[in-house]
Amino acid sequence: MKQGYIVHKLQIMLLLLFFSINAFSQQIAVTGKVTDAKDNLPLPGVSVFVKGTTIGTVTDGAGSFTIMAEKNATLVFSFIGYETIEVLIDGSNTSLSIQLSEATELLEEVVVVGYGVQRKRDVTGAIAKVDTKELMAVPTPSFESALQGQASGVQVITGSGIAGSGSVIRIRGVGSVSAGGDPLYVVDGVPITQDYFLRGNSGAMNNNPLATINPNDIESIEILKDAGSAGIYGSRGANGVILITTKRGKSKKPSINFSMRTGVVRPAYVPEFVSGSEYLQLRQEAWENDGGTGAVWLPNFTTADSPPEERAAAFEQAKTVNTNWWDLVTQTGFKQEYNLSFGKSGKWINAYFGGSYSDNQSYLKNNKYQRASGRLNLDTDFSDIIKFTLSSSYTYGVNHRVGAAWEGGTGAAMSTALPFYPVYNDDGSYFRYNSSANGGNPVMRQDLMLWRNFENRTINNLTVSITPFENFSVSASGGYDYMDFAEHRYEPQEYIASDHSGVAKMWPRYVNNLTGNLIVNYELNINNTHRFTFMGGTEIQKSSTAARYYEAIDVTGPYWDDIPHDDTNASFQETITKDAPQEWSFISFFSRVHYVFKEKYVLQVLARSDASSRFGPNYRYGFFPAVSGAWRISEEDFLKDNETLSTLRLRASYGITGNANFNSYAWFGTYSGTESNEYYNNYPIIYPINLENPNLRWETLHNFDIGLEFGLFSNRITGEIAFYNKITKDVIINRSNAPSSGFSTYWDNVGEILNRGFEFNLKSNNLVGDFKWTTNLNIARNHNEVLSIGDLSPDAVGGGTNDTRIVVGKPVGSNYLVRFSRIDPDDGLPIWLDKDGYETKTFSLDNRVVVGSVMPEAIGGITNTFEYKGFDLSFMFVFTIGGNLYDNSGKRQLGVVTDWQLRKEIADRWQQPGDIASYPKLTLNPANYPGLPGEWQYNSTMFLYDASYLRLRNLSLGYNLPKSLAQKIMANNARIYISASNLLTWSRFHGDPEIARDFENVADRNMSSNITYLTPPQEQVFTFGLDLSF
């Protein structure tokens, strides 16, 4: 090239000499047509410009262009997603035929790695990337749910069917008990607020801090899984890091995208309970089994002591009522979502605007989540030396809440709302069956109570980057995540049976999360043989949460309507309680050196030092180093020309990361403040609250990872196999203390947990050509084991509320239950197994043993996509192998007959000697099952199930309109599609096997996945969608 250039230069000078009359150099009109190399179809919108100048144009609808170029200039043809082509204009051809081929994705891709980007082939850590196309394939209201089955080793359990509920995500297993096990979420460089317990477990639902992030704004998600990648986040990287990068203006031609989705939603499962008459019959049977005579007494109508005539009358009356409570509180819901975005890269500034509105009803009546959001991303481009980058979003979300799970609604339909209770009394008032003021009736609650969550969220990041000289840049960045969240309730007079008009309550929370960092980057390239990237930086972060409680009595409306009330009313009263603010801070220093030798061997060393207000004074600063490397084996001479193996890359990493996701004030020893209002006998009191632990610190993860990436047949088949070993030490356990110590709980670094496993993913372009078939498969197997809990016993670890325990040698969250053996055919009583495995007819909680685990053995997903002439069809299956589900409500729905509904399976109960049955002889009195202290202690393997399941998560059929048709509506691209999610499920469980119930606290969230307690099933959604790009 060099030589040719000199020659041409001489030629030009000669020409100039010859044609010196011509003041201007020769301009040639070049025309041509640009087509897609794949299908020869014309490509409109391709940018054609003269290199080194501002002369440019764009191909028209037919792919044609005309441009004036100087002779011997170079024309550059570029189009998003295609390889850029440059053509020299030497005058020999002025009519060009250009074919652009799609950019080969794999090795030229750029991966976001945390405080920087790296080329995919230079990455030494275990990073899974999910791009926007894969993300948008599954319609979900909250984006993280769409990650399910997309990345190996990333377990995603979607929260229940309640609108706005969040998922539980675990990357390579659970390594924590009382500290948070969720990964760190970083949006455009800002570690965002991710508090699931902002309102605790109010209304049987945890907060979803990701609900306000609009999936349409997301460009890509990178999941950092090992120390080589997540290590740069130091004391917060142990559970993995999920980096979310939003879209930016990239194309020179303005790109406008509009998408619309509408759908209907039903529950994926409808639980089956007995009808009114069946319930009465079963209850009568239990009564007679117990020796009762006459009609059985009915809760809320008669009692055991009622005279026989009364009982009989109530029984007869009850036979005439058969209320289907489930039907009354569920519906077929409608969903709709609209997105409009605009992106353009301009001369001075690149901009991306996006706006979105969605209204997602769930299958619960009156329940929906509405969200309106906007985003503005700007990058300045006017100078090579200084650049500004702004990422800013605002979301307003309203969640119309209803009772669910143990709080009411569908939960009541599955428990205390019995079929012989009428909805209304004869006089038209609502029937109340619960001694609490609000009577229990789920229809009454649905009709009368007003309940909404409101959220305003804005996430912003502004970066200034200065490049004083080539390859060296300094950037300063400030991030601000502000959340203003409030739960509102209004309980009118009729609902709470009060003598005043009603009570309005409001729980506002305000979270201010500020991040600032300063980063220095330097790239050094020596002869293309040694390529160094140095990065060093410092970051500070502070978050502060304020919480209040407002309550107004004798008002006729909720706080969001400004609590209408009569000012002259003497019984109006308002109380405002202010909670103490919760604050925490981090100061960090970090550095990363990345070295590539001969474009084949990569070595990376990183280190981070974190200090946090959360750490006790004896452990203020933590140090987290990691070393990792990669070897592009396929670049070696012995493999370079191999026809089969087109890519082979080995990577490995070892490092130490930490988890700092625990209670901000846990280490302080505190006493009640003197502002505490308590007085005894005219004098104030003070008392100790929290036991001090000055040694409380982060959990330390020792993390080893090794992976082999391969590509066969010119990367027609690509994949990766990886192995990892993670040992978490100093696991924080909020241990329950012996009550005799005077303190109920104490935070301490006590335990050790192992996670070890394999991951395998494969992407295969099985068929290419007119009919395409691609398969994407990922599967991961994780072995989770508690190695030590210090000197604590399993029952001493506080937090799990669902009969799961932390037991050494078993996974986190082991089901700890009495083993059920069989039903005695002679007398119908249950036979259990004692601790040693011998049959016994006496139930005892002392016979509980570890019988199962909430952790799966393997998880994964398979997606098959077919494309033909604009049509695309894709099936996405997700699966879980191993692990157990425990139905915590089963003990009441299939146990002693009480004031709870009974499941249909109870039909298989023992009725007479000789019966071989699954459930024992019915009784109203727990004492009739020898040893059972009460109906709530019926904790046994009767309600333990295999958690394996296979689910058709998403099925979609789409059609890309041909460009000619699309252009009729001025669109570049138009796609219509229909899809169904959670269409089919195969499992051994009678209900929905995908369970992430409401959790009490952080430890519960770690230990109690796969435990259901009246948890509403997942949604089954049928969607019709339209995507247009202009």
Choice from 20, 674, 770, 914 touching another protein (CB under 8 A): 674
618 near another protein, judged by CB under 8 A: no
Structure tokens at 307: 């005279």
308 near another protein, judged by CB under 8 A: no
384 near another protein, judged by CB under 8 A: no
Choice from 260, 372, 796, 978 touching another protein (CB under 8 A): 796
673 near another protein, judged by CB under 8 A: yes
Choice from 499, 682, 769, 836 touching another protein (CB under 8 A): 682
Structure tokens at 777: 């498969």
301 near another protein, judged by CB under 8 A: no
Q: How far is the CB of 465 from another protein (least distance, A)?
A: 24
Distances (CA, A) of 788 to 338, 408, 750: 51, 39, 8
Pick the closer one to another protein by CB: 439 or 861.
439
Sign of the Cα pseudo-torsion (907, 911, 913, 919, in order): positive
668 near another protein, judged by CB under 8 A: yes
The DSSP letter of residue 567 is T
685 near another protein, judged by CB under 8 A: yes
Local structure of 135: helix, strand or coil = helix
684 near another protein, judged by CB under 8 A: yes
Choice from 40, 436, 741, 912 touching another protein (CB under 8 A): 741
738 near another protein, judged by CB under 8 A: yes
* Nearest-angstrom CA–CA distance, 521 and 503: 58
* Nearest-angstrom CA–CA distance, 697 and 618: 9
Piece of 632-640, 668-676, 819-827, 831-839 that binds another protein (CB under 8 A): 668-676
**Whats the size of the chain, residue-wise?**
1030
Which own/partner contact pairs does 141-146 have at CB distance under 8 Å and 24+ positions apart? 141/211, 141/335, 141/358, 141/360, 141/369, 141/371, 142/166, 142/167, 142/208, 142/210, 142/211, 142/213, 142/215, 143/210, 143/213, 143/214, 143/215, 143/218, 144/169, 144/210, 144/242, 146/215
293 near another protein, judged by CB under 8 A: no
Pick the closer one to another protein by CB: 242 or 731.
731
Pairing of strands 1011-1012, 884-887: parallel
Radius of gyration of the chain (CA): 33
835 near another protein, judged by CB under 8 A: no
> Which amino acid type is present at position 690?
N
* Nearest-angstrom CA–CA distance, 375 and 862: 33
1007 near another protein, judged by CB under 8 A: no
Pick the closer one to another protein by CB: 147 or 296.
296
Choice from 598, 620, 640, 869 touching another protein (CB under 8 A): 620
Structure tokens at 429: 């008032």
Piece of 324-332, 378-386, 675-683, 778-786 that binds another protein (CB under 8 A): 675-683
Piece of 82-90, 664-672, 723-731, 775-783 that binds another protein (CB under 8 A): 664-672
466 near another protein, judged by CB under 8 A: no
Pick the closer one to another protein by CB: 262 or 613.
613
Q: Could you tell me how many residues of this chain bind another protein (CB under 8 A)?
A: 67
791 near another protein, judged by CB under 8 A: yes
737 near another protein, judged by CB under 8 A: yes
Choice from 683, 769, 912, 968 touching another protein (CB under 8 A): 683
User: What is the Cβ-side half-sphere exposure of residue 169, based on CA atoms within 13 angstroms?
Assistant: 31
**Per-residue binder mask for another protein (CB under 8 A), 888-927, x = binder:** ---------------------------------------x
Phi, psi of 464 (to 5 degrees): -115, 125
> Which amino acid type is present at position 914?
G
Choice from 672, 714, 766, 964 touching another protein (CB under 8 A): 672
* Nearest-angstrom CA–CA distance, 396 and 399: 10
514 near another protein, judged by CB under 8 A: no
864 near another protein, judged by CB under 8 A: no
Closest of 115, 130, 143, 317 to residue 230, by C-alpha: 115
Piece of 57-65, 215-223, 735-743, 822-830 that binds another protein (CB under 8 A): 735-743
Scan for tokens 């990650």, then name that residue.
147
Pick the closer one to another protein by CB: 525 or 676.
676
Pick the closer one to another protein by CB: 351 or 696.
696
Pick the closer one to another protein by CB: 121 or 735.
735
Choice from 70, 381, 635, 692 touching another protein (CB under 8 A): 692
Q: Return the number of other C-beta atoms located less than 10 Å from residue 7's C-beta.
A: 10
24 near another protein, judged by CB under 8 A: no
Contact indicator for 422, 488 with CB cutoff of 8 Å: no
Piece of 347-355, 673-681, 705-713, 815-823 that binds another protein (CB under 8 A): 673-681
Piece of 70-78, 188-196, 934-942, 978-986 that binds another protein (CB under 8 A): 934-942
Contact indicator for 462, 477 with CB cutoff of 8 Å: yes
Piece of 108-116, 309-317, 678-686, 718-726 that binds another protein (CB under 8 A): 678-686
* Nearest-angstrom CA–CA distance, 884 and 1009: 10
Local structure of 172: helix, strand or coil = coil
Piece of 270-278, 351-359, 565-573, 737-745 that binds another protein (CB under 8 A): 737-745
Choice from 146, 168, 691, 733 touching another protein (CB under 8 A): 691
Choice from 322, 456, 467, 736 touching another protein (CB under 8 A): 736
Pick the closer one to another protein by CB: 363 or 929.
929
> Which amino acid type is present at position 4?
G
231 near another protein, judged by CB under 8 A: no
Show the DSSP H helices in 49-194 as ranges.
132-136
> Which amino acid type is present at position 473?
S
Pick the closer one to another protein by CB: 751 or 856.
751
Structure tokens at 180: 């948070």
> Which amino acid type is present at position 862?
I
689 near another protein, judged by CB under 8 A: yes
- Phi/psi-derived region of residue 33, left when phi > 0, alpha when psi is between -120 and 50, beta in every other case: beta
* Nearest-angstrom CA–CA distance, 154 and 152: 5
* Nearest-angstrom CA–CA distance, 467 and 471: 7
Q: How far is the CB of 731 from another protein (least distance, A)?
A: 17
- DSSP per residue, 240-306: -EEEEEE-----SS-EEEEEEEEEEEEES----B--HHHHHHHHHHHHHHTT--SSPP-TTT--TTS
Q: How far is the CB of 813 from another protein (least distance, A)?
A: 17
Choice from 581, 825, 837, 870 touching another protein (CB under 8 A): 581
Structure tokens at 397: 């979300």
Pick the closer one to another protein by CB: 919 or 938.
938
Choice from 671, 771, 871, 986 touching another protein (CB under 8 A): 671
Q: How far is the CB of 931 from another protein (least distance, A)?
A: 7
* Nearest-angstrom CA–CA distance, 292 and 928: 13
291 near another protein, judged by CB under 8 A: no
Piece of 113-121, 625-633, 724-732, 736-744 that binds another protein (CB under 8 A): 736-744
Piece of 470-478, 500-508, 578-586, 966-974 that binds another protein (CB under 8 A): 578-586
Structure tokens at 173: 């297993």
Q: Crossing angle of helices 308-319/276-289, nearest 10°?
A: 150
The DSSP letter of residue 501 is S
Binding residues for another protein, per CB under 8 A?
A: 303-305, 540, 542, 580-581, 583-585, 587, 611-613, 620, 664-665, 668-675, 677-692, 735-744, 746, 791-796, 798, 844-845, 927, 931, 933-934, 936-937
